[in-house]
Amino acid sequence: MNLWSPRALPVAAAVLGVPTLLAPESVVARLTYPAAFCVVVVSAWLATRAETGHRLSRALVAGALTVWLAGDLVYSALTRWFGEPGDVSLADAFWITGYPLLAAGLIIMVRRRTSSGLREATLDGLAMATVVGVLFWRFMVQPEITGDTMSAAEIIGTFYPLGDVLLFVAGALLVLAPGVRGGATGYLLAALAVTLAGDVVITVLPAVLPDFDTGRLDALLLLANSLFAAALWNRDIERPADRRTGPERVHAARLVFLGVALIALPVLNQLNDRDDGALGHTVSWTASILLSTIIFVRFVLVVREQEKARTALAHRAAHDELTGLVNRQELYARLTLALQHGAEPVVHFLDLDGFKAVNDRYGHSAGDFVLAEVARRLLGQTRPTDIVARLGGDEFVVVTEDVTGAGDVPQRLREAVGAEMSFRGHRLRVGVSIGVVSAADLSRPDSDLLLGTADEAMYRQKRTHRHTAAGRTA
């Protein structure tokens, strides 16, 4: 019977966080809060140790929780020994370090579980993060700046909103990137939401309620940390998404977030009527340039992907899937174009001899191998300006530009095709019958007439081969 469940961790954290929420300075709160946080951190490291595969992402998340706990312990020690610390203390170094560690761990998780690239999702996340960064600047950082220059406390204070922006990017990737979205993703998104909401409220609330003790909100952050630790116990947290056939659909959240990002930044810049000073204008211009650059790069990537898709579709429409040779429709089109330009192409119509016996004896995989190998050999005996096509089945066509040196082409093709092949330890061999016709020998030739005449010549040769073989047998 399994007595442990990751769900118990946030429940326990919520219960043990109640004294901190009600009376953060009480003896009970001073005991239960660090004890609960220690349990969360130990649980995170145990989940990391239990993982038999990649541990880096889990170790980074557990490391973030550890440095946050260290920051709390350092702050409590400084308060006990030296009184209430000022606006900046050693604890800030630990708290700030946790943000990049956590963001890096989450991004690595997303990268490992994503079979396709993260380029588009990353750009969309950065676009949204740009707007979130401006919001944090307007409402969290800028109101704290009292003069033209920033003090040490104000500089340190800016790192917290920057850390929240990093976590927002990680959360955006969790939502936008493909992958398995099970219980672990729900825990992570809930933890990120609670963390970001807690940081915003801790920063903004004193301006609204000066007498409110923001230490009460440590219970909220404890709950968020327990959700991070609970997510680490999920085995599917880095499992790649199943590959699905067909086009990928754009996540609805991506369209909503991008729309908000495109609208919010210009609106914020227009609504800000007061004089921001040089620093404020620099932030606004930088954000505008960054967002415009991201949108431009995103547009270029979309156009390139469309070009690649069109090229791939055009290639598939004009080529045989098995051999990669030109297909029947494309062969007709190229022959027609050559005749319209006054060329006199020579058509070699090839039909394999003995292919059915190979296919029946060794299976369709052997037959496919023979067809692909014949195609490769035909390409090796022709020039880049010649046309090599597969009409279907075991029928091929080679078109050369003129009759110069065309006399030895059938013999070269016959020798190339008739050479021995090796397939899974079996030695395979097929022959070939070739019918040859030149446009110069026909009156008013067209594609149908050229291919039809070459086809008839091929069958005459095939019948000759059969009669010769029958005579030898007799």
Instruction: Give the tens place of pLDDT for each residue, 250-266.
Output: 555 566 666 766 676 66
pLDDT score, position 179: 57
pLDDT at residue 116 greater than cutoff 60: no
The better pLDDT of the pair 156, 177 is held by: 156
The DSSP code sequence of 430-457 is -EEEEEEEEGGGSSS--HHHHHHHHHHH
pLDDT score, position 249: 53
CB contact at 8 A, 364 and 318: no
The domain 328-473 is placed in CATH, from the list 3.30.70.260, 3.30.70.270, 3.40.50.150, 3.40.50.300, at 3.30.70.270
Q: Which helix (H) or strand (E) holds 392?
A: strand 387-392
Extract the tokens encoding 202.
Answer: 């801790």
Mean pLDDT of 46-62: 88
pLDDT at residue 164 greater than cutoff 60: yes
Q: How far is CA 399 from CA 20, 190, 381, 406, in A?
A: 85, 65, 12, 10
DSSP state of 342: T
How far, in Å, CA of 433 to CA of 460, rounded? 9
Q: Which helix (H) or strand (E) holds 396?
A: strand 395-400
Residue with tokens 């550890």: 66
Extract the tokens encoding 270.
Answer: 């227009």
Residue with tokens 């038999």: 52
Residue 423 β-bridge partners = 426
pLDDT score, position 334: 92
pLDDT at residue 430 greater than cutoff 50: yes
How far, in Å, CA of 290 to CA of 278, rounded? 18
Separate counts of helices (H) and strands (E) for the chain? 16, 6
Largest CA distance in the chain: 114
DSSP state of 401: S
pLDDT at residue 213 greater than cutoff 60: yes
